[in-house]
Homo-oligomer: A and B are copies of this chain.
Amino acid sequence: MLDHMSTEDRRRREREAREALFIDRAHARIREDGLLGLQMSKLAADCEYATGTLYQHFESREDLLAAVAARSTRKRAARFRVIPGLDLDTRARMLAIVLADIDFAAVNPDYHRLMQYLVTEVVWANVSVARRTALLEAARPISEAVGAVVSEARAHGDLPPAREMGAEEMGLGPWALNVGMQDLANAQGLLDAYDIHRPYDHLIRHFHALLTGWRWEPCLDPDDPARVRAETDRVRAALAAAGIGADTVECERTAAD
Specify which of B143, B160, B184 is in contact with A194 (CB 8 Å cutoff): B143
Q: Main SS of chain A's interface residues?
A: helix
Q: Is residue A85 within 8 Å, beta carbon to beta carbon, of the partner chain?
A: no
- Identical copies of this chain, number: 2
**Neighbouring B residues of A36 by C-beta, 8 Å:** 122, 125
Q: Are B165 and A202 in contact (CB under 8 A)?
A: yes
The size bracket of the interface on A is: 35 or more
Q: Is residue A162 within 8 Å, beta carbon to beta carbon, of the partner chain?
A: yes
Q: Are B199 and A172 in contact (CB under 8 A)?
A: yes
Bound-state Cα–Cα, A125 to B173, Å: 32
Name the distance in Å between A143's Cβ and chain B's nearest Cβ.
6
Name the distance in Å between A10's Cβ and chain B's nearest Cβ.
36
**Neighbouring B residues of A206 by C-beta, 8 Å:** 172-173, 176-177, 210
Q: Are A208 and B213 in contact (CB under 8 A)?
A: yes
Q: Is residue A257 within 8 Å, beta carbon to beta carbon, of the partner chain?
A: no
Q: Name the 4 nearest CB pairs between A and B, nearest first.
A: A180-B180, A209-B213, A213-B213, A176-B180
